[in-house]
A and B are shown apart, each in its own frame.
Chain A
């Protein structure tokens, strides 16, 4: 219970943990999925599993946009930039993700012009400041970052900045949840709903989970207390036979979502008919493409896309970990061939990847336990 000391209100944490133990039916084994990689990170970092009774199992979901992107799309992005003499720009998280011929960072080490940006607006600024170069931005993320991409494209068009394009890899959360629920491998009782995606899409899009799939879902914040409180709310629903969408993260998430964000997305994006996800295969209407009005700023409409499809290394079990079928430590490569320093798959690289979180914190915990004895 070491981490309890770090919490702002340790007594409230302890009381909430007790409430969870009181509510959990000892005859039942609960499988609760936290969809979002940020929640996975918090759960491991704060050792929240230790505060739960053994019959509550937290299953890690696919809410890590870097993790679910197939390797071929990294290859495509790098190839488009190389073939067209463009500067490849992306968030830091993307830089160490392995492609077939190495990560963007490794390509940079070989002399390619590849730069980290912290905002799509930075990539646009780079284009404005360098009229002689073409700047390509590798856009990625769930609905949290899609509005930022959209607003940036609108700016590019308004400012007439032509030496700029985006390679769009935004994905949407609802089809991923649907694919998980449709999967025969999965038996889940309830969901801890995404926090920041919900600030954009609101809580309504989850209503079908409660109504049609009859699973409770609680939109949840990222503090330890948020996650524990959400588990209490889920257990109460299960105990009372309710299946509803509840918003535990009301201080940040508006029920109706963010209107300007949704409006910008509706203007700039359309849904792709299908998109390939690592671990989940092809999912229809699960990813965004750039509308024809913005064709000039869409790398896929402006340039030729190789359309590289690559399977993950055979031994890597990224797909199964992403679906929640395997825990990170159950992958044969975990901690051996695949580590944060030498990642085989994106889950070990991304700050939201289950494998990275487990590796960083589970090992730390084991070392601490060893130091007490």
Chain B
């Protein structure tokens, strides 16, 4: 659970200000960016993700370091499995009523 996965914000999600599309080593998924609402995230920003939530904004160099670290720790496979496993991006929006 201490798996902090670095990803690059690709685009915002229409109608959902608390989600964004992130790219992690070529895999694209939606993650929740609600915890960074005070700082704001924009396409091109890099973030650290835990269990589907972006927790911190980081620099690109640091993101590369983190990927390297995960590989050295033998956790890069688990990290990719986790990112690929995120299937919640299609949670339906709140009903109008």
Q: Scoring A residues 247 to 260 as 1 if CB is less than 8 Å from chain B, else 0, what string do you get?
A: 00001110000111
Residues of A near B56 (CB, < 8 A) are: 199, 252-253, 258
Interface of chain A residues 154 through 192 with chain B (CB within 8 A) = 155, 158-160
Asked if A305 is at the interface (CB within 8 A of a chain B CB), the reply is: no
Chain A CB within 10 Å, residue with most, of B2, B58, B74: B2
Considering the chains assembled together, what is the distance between the CA atoms of A352 and B32 in angstroms? 25
With both chains docked as a complex, state the minimum distance between the C-beta of A261 and any C-beta of chain B, in angstroms.
5
* CB nearest to A7 among chain B residues: B72
Q: A118-B51, A158-B94, A261-B35 are in contact. Are A352 and B2 (CB under 8 A)?
A: yes
Interface residues of A (CB under 8 A from B): 6, 8, 36-38, 41-42, 45-46, 65-66, 91-93, 116-122, 124-125, 128, 140-141, 144-145, 147-148, 151, 155, 158-160, 195-196, 199-200, 222-223, 251-253, 258-261, 264, 351-352, 360
Interface of chain B residues 40 through 69 with chain A (CB within 8 A) = 48, 50-53, 55-56, 58-59, 62, 65, 68-69
- Evaluate contact between B1 and A120: CB separation under 8 angstroms: no
- Evaluate contact between A151 and B35: CB separation under 8 angstroms: yes
- Evaluate contact between B51 and A148: CB separation under 8 angstroms: yes
Residues of A near B36 (CB, < 8 A) are: 260
With both chains docked as a complex, state the minimum distance between the C-beta of B37 and any C-beta of chain A, in angstroms.
5
With both chains docked as a complex, state the minimum distance between the C-beta of B7 and any C-beta of chain A, in angstroms.
13
Residues of B near A124 (CB, < 8 A) are: 88, 91
- Evaluate contact between A147 and B53: CB separation under 8 angstroms: yes
**A-B interface contact total, Cβ < 8 Å:** 123
- Evaluate contact between B91 and A147: CB separation under 8 angstroms: no
Chain A CB within 10 Å, residue with most, of B32, B35, B83, B91: B35
**Looking at chain B, what size class is its interface with the partner chain?**
35 or more
Considering the chains assembled together, what is the distance between the CA atoms of A223 and B72 in angstroms? 10
Considering the chains assembled together, what is the distance between the CA atoms of A199 and B50 in angstroms? 11
Q: Scoring B residues 62 to 86 as 1 if CB is less than 8 Å from chain A, else 0, what string do you get?
A: 1001001100111100100111011
With both chains docked as a complex, state the minimum distance between the C-beta of A340 and any C-beta of chain B, in angstroms.
12
Considering the chains assembled together, what is the distance between the CA atoms of A8 and B78 in angstroms? 22
* CB nearest to B55 among chain A residues: A199
* CB nearest to B52 among chain A residues: A119
Residues of B near A46 (CB, < 8 A) are: 72
- Evaluate contact between A121 and B92: CB separation under 8 angstroms: no
- Listed by A's residue number, 11 A-B pairs whose Cβ atoms lie within 8 Å are A118-B51, A118-B81, A120-B51, A122-B88, A124-B91, A159-B91, A200-B55, A222-B4, A258-B35, A258-B56, A360-B74
- Evaluate contact between A251 and B58: CB separation under 8 angstroms: yes
Closest 10 CB pairs of A and B: A119-B52, A121-B88, A38-B2, A118-B85, A125-B88, A118-B82, A148-B53, A119-B51, A122-B88, A252-B56
Q: Scoring B residues 1 to 34 as 1 if CB is less than 8 Å from chain A, else 0, what string do you get?
A: 1111000000000000000000000000000101
